[in-house]
Amino acid sequence: MRSSKYRAVWQRFCRHRMALVCLIILTALILLALLAPLIAPYAPQKPTGQFYQPPSAEHILGTDKIGRDMFSRVLYAMRVSLLVGFLATTVSTAVGVLLGLISGYFGGAADKIIMSFTDMVMSFPYILLVLVAAAIFQPGMWSIILILGFVDWPGVARLVRGNVLSLRETNFIKSDITAGMPRRYILFSEILPNTIAPVLVYATSVFAISIPDEAALSFLGMGVQPPTPSLGNLLNGAESLSILTGKPWMWVPAGAAIVLLVVCINFVGDALRDAFDPRNS
Amino acid sequence: MAEPVLELRNVSRRYRVSGEKSLFGKTFDAVRDVSLKVMPGETFGIVGESGCGKTTLARMIMCLERPSSGEIWLHGRRIDNLSESARRALRPRFQMVFQDSGSSLNPRKRVEDILREPMLYHHVGDAKQVDGRVDALMDMVGLPLEMKKRYPHEFSGGQRQRVCIARALSLNPDVLVLDEPVSALDVSVQAQILNLLRDLQEKMGLTYVFIGHGLGAVHYMSHQIAVMYMGRVVETGPSDTLFNRPAHPYTKALLDAAPTADDTLRNRKRVELSGEIEEADGEASCPLLPRCPFSRENCRHDGLTLKEADGRMTACARILELDGKQACGSTF
């Protein structure tokens, strides 16, 4: 019976052809990233002695200014960018869910304080906040995860709060109260499982945003620090006009990877939203 | 005389109307000065139209809401002013069945888990005993045992209401508040649920507070009845007395407004109220004053006190003049 529910979700998901194609591309990209150590022909940090080589049989995406193999670097960069995006999403979702639950269930002063704080974080110009935070803290992969995690949680918190507010008025929560059930049971066994689906959908969009955010920060030199490759600091190499116009192998693959990842994640997220909504059956 | 199981003493509930920004704010009295005594093993019916405060009253009895003033006593113990943690141990003794069975059950849990979890928390028994009790409860409310593995959306409305009754009974309560338990169900299913409730009451000696707007159902279920209008009890007494010989004009109008299939009764003389619900001015004014066909000047000054007449309590200034004089063709 449970499995029939999941089958229905999968059937609704499959109705989105585009999402299905995107899911396949996304899976392929994630596999490429995960298996980078096996696939990459060269070590990503090791100069090969041939500078600015255009794509060839030896280096299928060419080499950069100090002779590192671009294909290997792109693979490792995707690894880093996906990891940053995934962990940042996990952090922001966890923070958002926790604050949203507290805010929605307890209401009163806790709700006012949390919601004011949420509005405050949301009202800051996003990229500025990230830049300032990146400037204050030591730039690097872990600080960028925490920074992105910190700026992305308000949306989740609001979503969860709204859900909790409506769930709190349902009769099954009222029955829990009249049965004298403890708060931890009501919050984590009754309310939380009923907010998972919308949170999951929202998290995909946060994931899709974190990847270009990381790229933007790394591009500006505030994110993942070289020599560790990330999609953003690979694009950094395209800052000079001569590279932009004359050596497209330096930046096209990284740019294409960002576009593909973001588009695919968004399509999959959209389809998930429709799939989780039983009214679409 | 036996002690009442549940007693309400002058219970009122006032809400602040949101959106009003004046200094004192606007208030709305959902329940005003209600006193009731519910005797053990009996069903106390509460009738009235939508918005008369029935559900607010039920929520206050269940301590989902605090009265603005007044006291609620259960088994000789005042419960409305306890903290939630102090009340937790008492909670299992009074349970509620809601009107909308659709939202009464967590859609993500199997029925057996819905029934089991409160019993485990309250240590009704060890895991094995609780499992046995789940089966016993399913049987008690007339559901096939294999259905316990199902999710709520796989049940019909009547079956869901049976699950809700099973859950309410799982903690061995002695008072059950039934807030319009059959209003959302088909007529044929209504009768099944009402009979189930009556059987359970007989077997287990339960005390019910039965809230409804379906007059037939309330009459069928109740020993005592209170009729509410605009948050007040306007008439209360034994069920049969109230239905056969209603004294308050509102009770009469309520009974006369019910549709009937009996041709000979279609053209009977009825008590009809004029206009819509509106607030009567004056502190002691009868709430029905603006709509009542029998209103007189003295209704303005003596419209609230419940006076005893003919084995019931009626809040009507003209009760003694009107009593017996009004033809009332009600057949309930």
Percent of all residues in chain B with a pLDDT value above 90, rounded to a whole number: 41
Tens digit of pLDDT for each residue in B267-302? 677 777 777 777 766 667 788 877 887 777 777 777
- For residue A234 the two structure tokens come to 């690979």
pLDDT of residue B200: 94
Sign of CA dihedral B70, B74, B80, B82: positive
pLDDT of residue B23: 59
pLDDT at A227: 81
Q: Which two tokens stand for residue B128?
A: 């094995």
Most confident of A39-53, A89-103, B182-196, B305-319: A89-103
Q: What is the mean pLDDT of residues B161-186?
A: 92
User: Which of A147-156, A202-211, A240-249, B166-175 has the lowest average pLDDT?
Assistant: A240-249
On the question of pLDDT at A143 being above 60, the answer is: yes
CB pairs under 8 A between A and B: 64
In chain A, what residues touch B62 (CB-CB under 8 Å)?
A: 174, 178
Residue A248 has pLDDT above 90, yes or no: no
Residue A223: per-residue pLDDT: 79
pLDDT score, position B332: 35
Task: State residue B323's pLDDT score.
Answer: 55
Q: What percent of chain B has pLDDT over 70?
A: 89
The per-residue pLDDT for B330 is: 38
- B121 touches A: beta carbon within 8 Å: yes
pLDDT band at B13 (very low <50, low <70, confident <90, very high): very high
Q: Is the pLDDT of residue B239 over 80?
A: yes
Structure-token pair, residue A190: 């009754």
For residue A188, the distance in angstroms to the closest alpha carbon of chain B comes to: 13
**Structure tokens that stand for B211 in this block:** 């809230």
Here the tokens at position A10 are 């999968």
Whether residues B91 and A175 touch (CB distance < 8 A) is answered with no
Over residues B42-70, the pLDDT tens digits come to: 999 999 888 888 999 999 999 999 999 99
Among A127-136, B11-20, B145-154, B321-330, the least confident range: B321-330
In 3-state terms, what secondary structure has residue B254? helix
* Burial tier of B96 (Cβ tally within 10 Å: 0-12, 13-18, 19+): buried
The CA–CA distances, whole Å, from B144 to B137, B152, B161, B196, B306 equal: 10, 14, 14, 15, 48
More confidently predicted of B314 and A172: A172
Q: Does B87 touch chain A (CB under 8 A)?
A: yes
Chain A residues in contact with B118 by the CB 8 A cut-off are: 176, 179-181
- pLDDT number for residue A281: 53
Kindly give the pairing relationship between strand B224-229 and strand B232-238: antiparallel
Q: What is the DSSP string of chain A?
A: -HHHHHHHHHHHHHT-HHHHHHHHHHHHHHHHHHTHHHH-SS-TT---S--SPPS-SSSTT-B-TT--BHHHHHHHHHHHHHHHHHHHHHHHHHHHHHHHHHHHHH-HHHHHHHHHHHHHHHHS-HHHHHHHHHHHSPPSHHHHHHHHHHHHHHHHHHHHHHHHHHHHTSHHHHHHHHTT--HHHIIIIIIGGGTHHHHHHHHHHHHHHHHHHHHHHHHTTSSSPTTS--HHHHHGGGGSHHHHHH-GGGTHHHHHHHHHHHHHHHHHHHHHHHHH-GGG-
Alpha helices in chain B (DSSP H): 54-61, 84-87, 111-121, 127-140, 157-170, 187-204, 215-221, 239-244, 249-257, 263-266, 319-322
Q: How far is A187 from chain B (nearest CA, A)?
A: 13
Please give the residue of chain A at the shortest CA–CA distance from B90: A180
Q: What is the pLDDT of residue B322?
A: 59
Q: What is the mean pLDDT of residues A40-56?
A: 78
**The pair of three-digit structure tokens given for residue A212, joined into one six-digit string:** 């270009």
A29: closest CA of chain B, how far (Å): 34
Q: Which of A32-41, A215-224, B176-185 has the highest mean pLDDT?
A: B176-185
Q: Which residues of A touch B90 (CB under 8 A)?
A: 180
Percent of chain A scored above 90 by pLDDT?
A: 36
d(CA B159, CA B106): 15
* Residue B330 contacts residue B243 (beta carbons within 8 Å): yes
Terminal CA-to-CA distance of chain A, rounded, Å? Answer: 16
Considering CB atoms only, which of B108, B122, B164 is closest to A180? Answer: B122
Instruction: Count CA atoms within 13 Å of residue B238 on its CB side.
Output: 7
Which structure tokens are listed for B175? 């008072």
Strands B224-229 and B43-47: parallel
Q: Which residue has the higher pLDDT, B156 or B275?
A: B156
SS3 state at B157: helix
Burial class of residue A129 (count of CB atoms within 10 Å of its CB; 0-12, 13-18, 19+): middle
State how far residue A279 is from chain B, nearest Cα, in angstroms: 14
Domains of chain A: 2-45+59-280 (1.10.3720.10)
What are the structure tokens assigned to A159, written together?
């979503």
Question: Which residues on B lie below 8 Å from A176 (Cβ)?
Answer: 118
All residues at 6 or more sequence positions from B314 whose CB lies less than 8 Å from its CB, including other chains:
B234, B235, B237, B247, B248, B306, B307
- Whether B150 contacts A1, CB under 8 Å: yes
Q: Is the pLDDT of residue B176 over 90?
A: yes
Integer Cα distance of B237 and B252 in angstroms:
14
Higher pLDDT, B178 or B253: B178
pLDDT beyond 90 at A2: no
The token duo for B32 is 């005003």
With bands split at pLDDT 50, 70 and 90, how would you rate the model's confidence at B326? very low
A259: CB partners within 8 A, 6+ apart: none
Mean pLDDT in chain A?
A: 86
Residue A13 has pLDDT above 50, yes or no: yes
Q: Quick check: A93 pLDDT over 50? A: yes
Q: How many CA atoms lie within 13 A of B93 on its CB side?
A: 13
According to DSSP, residue B290 is labeled T
**Residues of chain A contacting residue B120, judged by C-beta atoms under 8 Å apart:** none
CA–CA separation, B314 vs B327, rounded Å? Answer: 18
DSSP state letter for B225: E
pLDDT at B20: 56
Contacts B64 to A, Cβ<8 Å? 174, 177-178
In tens, the pLDDT along A105-131 reads 998 899 999 999 999 888 887 778 778
User: A102-106, A219-223, B111-115, B304-308: which has the minimum mean pLDDT?
Assistant: B304-308
The interface predicted TM-score (ipTM) is: 0.84
Strand B207-212 vs strand B43-47: parallel, antiparallel, or unpaired? parallel
Q: Provide residues of A within 8 Å CB-CB of chain B.
A: 1-2, 170-172, 174-182, 185, 189-190, 193-194
Q: Mean per-residue pLDDT for B18-38?
A: 78
Note the pLDDT of residue B5: 92
What are B111-144's pLDDT values in tens digits?
999 999 999 999 888 889 999 999 999 999 999 9
Rounded distance, CA A73 to CA A138, Å?
Answer: 24
Cβ-proximal residues to B271 (8 Å cutoff; 6+ apart), any chain: B249, B252, B253, B256, B293, B326, B328
For residue B296, what are its two tokens? 């007189």
pLDDT band at B21 (very low <50, low <70, confident <90, very high): low
**Residue B58, pLDDT score:** 93
Q: State the pLDDT at residue B145.
A: 92
The verdict on a CB contact (< 8 Å) between A174 and B88 is no
d(CA B130, CA B115): 9
Q: Which residues of A touch B91 (CB under 8 A)?
A: 178-180
CB-side exposure of B32: number of CA atoms within 13 Å?
17
- The reply to whether residue B121 touches residue A181, judged by beta carbons under 8 angstroms, is yes
